[in-house]
Amino acid sequence: MRIAFRRSVPATGTTEESRAALDSYDVAFLAGGPQRVADSALIALSERGLLRLGGSRVRAAGEAPPQHPVEGALFALCPRSRNTASVLTALQRSPEVEEIARRLAAQNLVTGSRRRPTRLGRRQLRAAERAEGLPEYVFSGPAALPPGPVRRGVASARPIPSGLGRTLIRMGKALDRDHDSDSDPGSDSGSAFSCGGGSGSD
């Protein structure tokens, strides 16, 4: 079932059928890929009281799952309290989000390989922004939200890319080794300083 936001996306160089198929999560994908889709679903369900964010944790609230496939997938991922970052990562890789990518590629709105917006996709995105029928976070992410627990919960859940994480770990270990070497009382620099001080006192 498509959500009501689809009516706010006007046709721009495409057919009425493809225009009708676009909803807020399709537009979110055009704006920021799978991550924007996941962030938007988390924000939408939190604002509707169907998810509860607390610190770095999230859990479903209530028993009836939402009807949109992406929202239903997110709701099912956290029946109990779970780490928000892991939930968002799982949602980005879910079949429901993959289906959005497949459908947009079939409509020539994103490229088939890298899933970047095509020229037609960018035109559709600009048209959706002009229509002003979708929440700003669909286009800009959590930065568009007012300060509060939802914005903090979503923004703090952004996982560090695996390559960057490994780099930071290596840098931290290197700094630790340098610090240990500098502070080792048996190091050459420490011995030289000690000897120099002794000779100066004679």
Q: Domain range for residue 196?
A: 162-201
189 lies in the same domain as 120? no
CB 24 within 8 A of CB 132: no
Provide mean pLDDT across the span 10-21.
Answer: 44
140 lies in the same domain as 40? yes
What confidence tens digit (pLDDT) does each residue in 71-127 have?
999 999 999 999 999 999 999 999 999 999 999 999 999 998 889 999 999 999 999
Which own/partner pairs from 84-89 qualify as long-range (CB within 8 Å, at least 24 positions apart)? Answer: 84/42, 84/53, 84/56, 84/57, 84/58, 84/153, 84/154, 84/156, 84/157, 85/56, 85/157, 85/158, 85/159, 87/42, 87/58, 87/157, 88/35, 88/38, 88/39, 88/42, 88/157, 88/159, 89/38, 89/159
Burial of 100 (0-12, 13-18, 19+ CB in 10 A): buried
Q: What mean pLDDT value characterizes the chain?
A: 78
Residues facing 110 on adjacent strands: 117
Q: Is the pLDDT of residue 13 over 60?
A: no
Confidence of residue 149 (pLDDT cuts 50, 70, 90): confident
147 lies in the same domain as 193? no
119 lies in the same domain as 168? no
115 lies in the same domain as 183? no
What confidence tens digit (pLDDT) does each residue in 30-53 have?
999 999 999 999 999 999 999 999
> pTM for this one?
0.70
Provide mean pLDDT across the span 140-160.
Answer: 85
Domain count, the chain: 2
Provide mean pLDDT across the span 170-174.
Answer: 56
Task: Quote the CA–CA distance of 2 and 19 in Å, as a whole number.
Answer: 12
Provide mean pLDDT across the span 175-193.
Answer: 48
